[in-house]
Amino acid sequence: MPRSASTGPLAGPLALAAAAAVLGAAGLLVAPAASAQPAAATAARGVDYRGHHFTVPADWALVDLDAAPGTCVDFSRHALYYGTPAAAQDCPAGGTGRTEALLVEPATSADAPGTRVDAASQEIDAADAQVHVLAGYRHDPALVRQIVAGAGLPGTAPAVRPSTQRPAVATPAALPANTTSYTGKGFDACEAPTAAQMSAWKSASPYGAVGIYFGGPSRACADQPNLSASWLQQQSSAGWRFLPIYGGVMADDITSPTAQGTASAQDAASRAASYGLPQGSVLYDDMEAYSPSYSGAVLAYLSAWTKELHTLGYQSGVYSSSSSGIEDLADHYGSGYEMPDVIYDALWNGSATTSDPAVPAGLWADHQRVHQYSGGHNESYGGATLNIDSDYLDVAARTASAAHGTVWDRTRSATGGWQAHASEIDDNDAITAVASAGLPDGTLHTFTVVPGSGVWERVRSASGTWAATATHLDDNGSITALSAAALPDGTLHLDVVVKGSGVWDRTRSASGTWAAAATQIDDNAAITRLASAGLPDGTVHLEALVPGSGIWERVRSASGSWAAAATHLDTNGSITALSTAALPDGTQHLDAVVPGSGIWDRTRTAAGTWQSSTLIDTNGSISAVGTAALPDGTLHVDAVVPGSGVWDRTRGTAGGWAAAATQIDDNGAIFTVQPAALPDGTLHVHTIV
């Protein structure tokens, strides 16, 4: 899988700060400050294609795909590819390695005009009636953004869909549960082969599994003309098994390990679902060889990758070289890092077994290994030649275990003092998610998700006593996430994400009766997380996170009707967590976690207008966030920092944010937080450990 790449940023007129646009942390394109000194001019070259002129640095390759059919569209080198890519490309086996490069091809009817930035994959997608552009980057997004803009492609910022209706998300038929399990030989190639090549190899080769590069910021073959949900279905029906490989963040690009590992896992899980790969499948992060100085960052990144994949229902796999990533994992097994379920070991010794002296025989011993025993080389079967890496798999089907624990409550008094210690309020250690809401009568309702069991409710009375037992509120074992919102009339809304189904809403009346059945209010199967707020005017605002797309809002009117369509509220596809709360003055705050950047706060005025986002916490390692509004008009934003605990930041009644956050819980094992306010001015912060 190794692939060398040119990674240095380019100077010159194409990289002038005054002319370039850079990606802001909130997902917007903003102009950078002008450079104090003008950059030295460098030579450039250009190509005219279908009415557009593309200007690139002089040292870039210009590749006419129509004149050189079969050329590999390889984003590991600086190049401008133009023309129609072949279905069967002559690509080297190595599937990772990324730098700045562009593919310009004829537009099709499926290409919507506009420009879209996919920060998770480090790609820019642009189109008009004539051309479609796929641009990849590693360290210099401003360069490729300017090349695209300079060619006259529409849009100076990521395009927002002209309609507020979220496009229908086609949920592909799920592949078999054992689709990533196999014992025997397999291969991986940079590009997914054509159906004809796969058929020839199925008939004549010794291989029964194929590695596919299905996403990621370091994927070299970003253009995958064959890879689709239907291709996977076809190959699965033919008997193939799969090694889904995600080209994740490379060691020398890791700056916020936990945040980046979490974001990679979320993007990978979303993409896997779009291809029909079912929960329980093994998804492999490709971590290429690195020097020992990066070991700590890599282990933290891979630990976060594994934890988040488990939360999302997938198994974690890690590909790396025997002498770096795999050896590091083996050496630190049992030391506190979350270990992958399967290791994918690159040791080119020609031996089609899963043995490796660097990995003790007792580790990953239960059908949990893949061995890449031979690097890039050509093999031919049935008249079809591919450049491949050869693998041997011993992987059994199993179910991933989501991060789970018990629920703890820590209270802040109305006078501002925090309880010295948290109290355990639910000792069921299988809980994976929690949501809470305080009602006008002073009761506090806490909801938990137990995978395979559903949602359980535990109530704290107005006098301060927690119920001895929880009530089984919803027995749908496929619920994965939830949120709760209380309204001034005493009603309560519980919203849940059901795997593969979308969002369902269940209501509790002011008299305390729960609706017999939930109502589906959003059928987008790509939604992973929710946040909701009840406003003083009686409306409910439900915020839904769609990885790679951002945040979508759906509103329930005071009269009880849910909006027919959701509004695309934030187009930043890198957001990994969200929370929201409504203040007594009718304003609403939406807080979003952007890995490597921190927490961004967006305000909706009492008149209903959403403002631009403000960065309120620059800790790029934050993994979860919770928001609660007190009756006096103050706002509390609580953030989870893995290994450090929970930090509380306050917004005063006048609108000013505290300059620093306060650590309110130093338990580094906490993985989620949910605060809820009561009418008496107390604040309850719930965590899962």
Residue 182 in tokens: 């196999």
Shared domain for 88 and 194, answered yes or no, is no
422 or 18, which is more confident = 422
Shared domain for 340 and 418, answered yes or no, is no
Shared domain for 467 and 512, answered yes or no, is yes
- For the chain, the C-alpha Rg in angstroms (whole number) is 26
Return the bridge partners of 687, or none.
408, 673
Q: State the burial class of residue 561 (Cβ atoms within 10 Å of its Cβ: 0-12, 13-18, 19+).
A: exposed
Mean predicted confidence (pLDDT) in 36-51? 68
Handedness of CA 292, 296, 301, 306 (dihedral sign): positive
At 352, which CATH number?
3.20.20.80
Query: Quick check: 100 pLDDT over 70?
Result: yes
Shared domain for 235 and 384, answered yes or no, is yes
Shared domain for 325 and 228, answered yes or no, is yes
Q: Which of 365, 395, 425 is the last residue of a domain?
A: 395
Q: Say if residues 505 and 515 touch (Cβ distance below 8 Å).
A: no
* Phi and psi at residue 204, to the nearest 5°: -120, -15
Q: Say if residues 443 and 508 touch (Cβ distance below 8 Å).
A: no
SS3 assignment, position 300: helix
From 246-255, 273-282, 411-420, the region with the lowest mean pLDDT = 273-282
What range does the domain containing 451 cover?
405-688
Residue 682 in tokens: 């107390």
H/E stretch holding 97 reads none
Shared domain for 116 and 203, answered yes or no, is no
Residue 77 lies in a domain: yes
Q: Say if residues 640 and 577 touch (Cβ distance below 8 Å).
A: no
Number of Cα atoms under 13 Å in the Cβ half of residue 489? 14
Q: pTM here?
A: 0.67
Handedness of CA 614, 619, 620, 624 (dihedral sign): negative
Query: Quick check: 436 pLDDT over 70?
Result: yes
Query: Quick check: 26 pLDDT over 50?
Result: no
The pLDDT of residue 401 is: 66
Residue 158 lies in a domain: no
Of the candidates 677, 503, 688, the one whose C-alpha atom is nearest the C-alpha of residue 581 is 677
Q: Which of 395, 425, 447 is the last residue of a domain?
A: 395
Residue 164 lies in a domain: no
Return the bridge partners of 81, or none.
63, 103
Q: At what angle do helices 295-311 and 257-274 cross, to 10 degrees?
A: 40
CB atoms under 10 Å from CB of 584, counted, come to 14
The pLDDT of residue 14 is: 28
* CA–CA separation, 204 and 199 (whole Å): 9
* CA–CA separation, 19 and 135 (whole Å): 18
| DSSP for residue 219 | B
Residue 173 lies in a domain: no
H/E stretch holding 332 reads none
CB atoms under 10 Å from CB of 168, counted, come to 8
Handedness of CA 34, 38, 42, 43 (dihedral sign): positive
The pLDDT of residue 28 is: 28
Mean predicted confidence (pLDDT) in 623-628? 96
Q: Tally the domains of the chain.
A: 3
CB atoms under 10 Å from CB of 109, counted, come to 6
Q: What is the band of 514 on the pLDDT scale with cuts at 50, 70, 90?
A: very high
CB atoms under 10 Å from CB of 165, counted, come to 13
* Phi and psi at residue 256, to the nearest 5°: -130, 85
Residue 517 lies in a domain: yes
Shared domain for 257 and 336, answered yes or no, is yes
Q: What is the band of 163 on the pLDDT scale with cuts at 50, 70, 90?
A: very low
Query: Quick check: 269 pLDDT over 60?
Result: yes
* CA–CA separation, 77 and 544 (whole Å): 37
Lookup result for tokens 């796929």: 134
423-458: b or e for each residue (b if 16 or more CB lie within 10 Å)? eebbeeeebbbbbbbbbeeebbbbbbbbbebbbbbb
Residue 88 lies in a domain: yes
* Phi and psi at residue 581, to the nearest 5°: -155, 150
The pLDDT of residue 155 is: 63
Q: State the burial class of residue 335 (Cβ atoms within 10 Å of its Cβ: 0-12, 13-18, 19+).
A: exposed
Of the candidates 218, 155, 162, 166, the one whose C-alpha atom is nearest the C-alpha of residue 29 is 155
The pLDDT of residue 18 is: 26
From 6-15, 52-61, 170-179, 542-551, the region with the lowest mean pLDDT = 6-15
Residue 534 in tokens: 């009840």
Of the candidates 151, 678, 206, the one whose C-alpha atom is nearest the C-alpha of residue 442 is 678
SS3 assignment, position 81: strand
Shared domain for 252 and 334, answered yes or no, is yes
Q: What is the band of 334 on the pLDDT scale with cuts at 50, 70, 90?
A: confident
At 632, which CATH number?
2.130.10.10
Q: What is the band of 4 on the pLDDT scale with cuts at 50, 70, 90?
A: very low
Q: At what angle do helices 195-204 and 229-237 cross, to 10 degrees?
A: 20
Q: Tell me the C-alpha to C-alpha distance, in Å, between residue 489 and each of 510, 561, 583.
A: 7, 16, 16
Q: What is the band of 42 on the pLDDT scale with cuts at 50, 70, 90?
A: low
Residue 177 lies in a domain: no
Shared domain for 611 and 659, answered yes or no, is yes
Q: Say if residues 624 and 673 touch (Cβ distance below 8 Å).
A: yes
The pLDDT of residue 259 is: 87
The pLDDT of residue 36 is: 30
22 or 486, which is more confident = 486
| DSSP for residue 322 | I
Residue 6 lies in a domain: no
Query: Quick check: 40 pLDDT over 70?
Result: no
Mean predicted confidence (pLDDT) in 192-219? 97
Q: Say if residues 543 and 532 touch (Cβ distance below 8 Å).
A: yes
Q: What is the band of 24 on the pLDDT scale with cuts at 50, 70, 90?
A: very low
As a whole number, the mean pLDDT across the chain is 90
Mean predicted confidence (pLDDT) in 381-395? 98
State pLDDT tens for residues 303-328. 999 999 988 889 999 999 999 999 99
The pLDDT of residue 561 is: 97
Shared domain for 251 and 297, answered yes or no, is yes
CB atoms under 10 Å from CB of 228, counted, come to 15
The pLDDT of residue 159 is: 34
Q: Say if residues 616 and 637 touch (Cβ distance below 8 Å).
A: yes
The terminus-to-terminus CA distance of the chain in angstroms comes to 38
State pLDDT tens for residues 416-429. 999 999 999 999 99
Shared domain for 378 and 421, answered yes or no, is no
Handedness of CA 637, 455, 543, 315 (dihedral sign): positive
Query: Quick check: 179 pLDDT over 80?
Result: yes
The pLDDT of residue 400 is: 63
Q: Which of 395, 426, 447 is the last residue of a domain?
A: 395
Residues of the chain above pLDDT 70, percent: 91
Shared domain for 536 and 504, answered yes or no, is yes
Q: Say if residues 134 and 127 touch (Cβ distance below 8 Å).
A: no
State pLDDT tens for residues 442-459. 999 999 999 889 999 999
